[in-house]
């Protein structure tokens, strides 16, 4: 897939995206009073967790703790109870409480705006950091999760082995104007149509652009 072709594919997906349910992190961010903080919290909760669970847990926790001050003050057991049953909820509860304390101590109670500073927070990897930068702040970044990694390789746009390698390959190749929206488009597409196993190729609006790399079975 060439740069010209991916531009066409992304334009098609932007027209189609309204038909599908958008990722939970985007739903939370769109209704947030503190978009960077609430994006950070919901993204941490989303790791290895289904979207429906992420959205509900994010709403419960943020209702009780809408600021770093409030979250840092919550007992650990209360955080665990509020976010259950997200995956690894005990670890995430510890990380969220520790992160809130760091935000208060080192950043004036605000979420930092750079990838480097975000990566220093407990439980924050490159996916989370990039999502906070793009969704939380509206800055340029490329968030790569399993959907973005899979589809970018399935299309034949990159040939990489890990999400981190995909991120850097996309940074070198994807037009910068597409960086902010690339994750939202591909995650929504990947959750609803371009599934990991047996994707819906017969229903796919961009099937004509796809090389179907690694697709062994489709519908």
Say if CB 169 and CB 140 are below 8 A apart.
no
Catalytic pick among 127, 139, 165, 177: 127
Cβ within 8 Å of residue 96, ≥6 positions away: 41, 44, 61, 71, 79, 83, 123
Question: At which residue do the structure tokens 């930068």 appear?
Answer: 133
- Whether the Cβ atoms of residue 129 and residue 179 lie closer than 8 Å to each other: no
Distances from the Cα of 93 to the Cαs of 55, 88, 135, 190, 217, in angstroms?
Answer: 16, 9, 22, 28, 39
Closest CA to 40 of 87, 95, 108, 80: 95
Catalytic residue among 92, 97, 145, 184: 145
Contact 54, 86 (CB under 8 A): yes
- Round to whole Å and give the CA distance between 132 and 215: 31
Q: Please say whether the beta carbons of 142 and 187 come within 8 A.
A: no
| Cα distance between residue 161 and residue 105, in whole Å | 38
127 catalytic residue (yes or no): yes
- 145 catalytically annotated: yes
Residues assigned a catalytic role: 127, 145
């Amino acid at each position: 897939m060439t740069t010209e072709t991916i531009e066409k594919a992304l334009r098609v997906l932007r027209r189609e995206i309204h038909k599908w349910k958008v990722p939970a992190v985007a739903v939370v961010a769109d209704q947030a009073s503190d978009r960077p903080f609430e994006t950070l919290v919901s993204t941490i909760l989303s790791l290895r967790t289904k979207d429906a669970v992420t959205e509900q847990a994010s709403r419960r926790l943020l209702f009780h703790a809408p600021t770093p001050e409030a979250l840092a003050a919550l007992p650990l057991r209360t955080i665990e109870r509020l976010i259950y049953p997200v995956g690894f909820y005990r670890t995430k509860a510890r990380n969220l409480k520790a992160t809130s304390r760091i935000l208060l101590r080192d950043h004036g109670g605000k979420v930092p705006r750079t990838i480097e500073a975000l990566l220093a927070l407990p439980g924050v990897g490159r996916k989370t950091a990039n999502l906070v930068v793009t969704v939380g702040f509206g800055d340029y970044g490329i968030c790569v999760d399993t959907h973005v990694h899979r589809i970018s390789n399935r299309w034949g746009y990159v040939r990489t082995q890990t999400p981190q390698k995909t991120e850097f390959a996309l940074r070198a190749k994807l037009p910068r104007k597409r960086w902010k929206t690339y994750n939202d488009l591909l995650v929504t597409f990947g959750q609803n149509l371009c599934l990991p196993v047996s994707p819906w190729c017969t229903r796919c609006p961009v099937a004509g652009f796809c090389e179907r790399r690694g697709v062994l079975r489709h519908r």
